[in-house]
Amino acid sequence: MSAQDNTEKVLKSLHVMIAKGQSYELDPSKVVVDRDKMLSLLKELNQCMYAMMEEYELTRQSKDKAEREFRKRGDEIVMDASRKAEDIYAASVIYTDEALSSIQEIMQKANDSVKAIYNEMDHKLEEQKHIVRTNQLELKSQLQDLKDTDKYLKMIEDRNREIQKEKDEKEGKKQKRELKNNSRKESSIYANRQTEIKVNPEYFEKAGIPMVEDLALDDETELDMQEEAPKIQPEIKVNLDAEYFRWKNGNKKK
């Protein structure tokens, strides 16, 4: 039986003893009770009070313990969630790192492929260049067999100079056009700006000078410089070395 039940039982016994007690003759509001029974009941009541206090203390301790365990459990949940969040973040970082590494590998493979294609093209161009150079040397050797070798060499040199001169003229015209276009752009910036002129009509009225209204700028024309596009002539490159023939002629004469 719990301390609360024992306390209720003792209090009930006290109530019954007082209710059934014999009334005091001199004062009817008072009763006569057995002293030993009363002391026994009071002693039991005292024990019940101590028992209830112990139960309360145990209950309070249990409550505090439960609160401590609850807080501990909450801290564990928070720590576990933090660890899981860190694990998720670390996993995302690892995944991102792997993805970036894969992208770098793809880029490196693409770069290697482009380099391989470029090297192959460069090798083929070198082969073609070697073939052209060989054909050029063969042409030189064939030209050497002709009678007027020096005359032909001079003609080739003159033709090369003419081609270079045409190139220089085209480049000069191109630069002039660019300069003109730039100057037109700069002049158009200032041409669009107009100064506002304000006229005081009262001044003219007092002076007796008639006003001329509706002033406007007329006959404004733009001169478009149209240059005739230079005719494109087929460019012939004959890269023959005159010194080669002179050296070869000198060897033959010796």
Nearest-5° Cα angle at 144, 158 to 148: 60
pLDDT exceeds 50 at position 13: yes
Q: Round to whole Å and give the CA distance between 128 and 119.
A: 14
3-state class percentages of the chain: helix first, strand second, coil last, to nearest 5: 75, 0, 25
The predicted model scores a pTM of: 0.33
Task: Give the start-to-end residue ranges of the domains of the chain.
Answer: 3-105, 146-174+236-254
- The per-residue pLDDT for 213 is 47
Tokens of 41: 């009941």
User: How does residue 4 score in pLDDT terms, banded at 50, 70 and 90?
Assistant: confident
The structure tokens listed for 58 are: 């145990």
% of the chain residues with pLDDT over 90 = 17
pLDDT band at 224 (very low <50, low <70, confident <90, very high): very low
The answer, yes or no, to whether residue 212 has pLDDT greater than 80, is no
Q: How far is CA 145 from CA 39, 142, 245, 254, in A?
A: 157, 5, 11, 17
Tell me, rounded to whole angstroms, the distance of Cα 247 from its chain centroid. 66
Task: Give residues with Cβ within 8 angstroms of 90, minimum separation 6.
Answer: none
How many helices (H) and strands (E) the chain has is answered by 5, 2
Q: Which residue has the higher pLDDT, 225 or 147?
A: 147
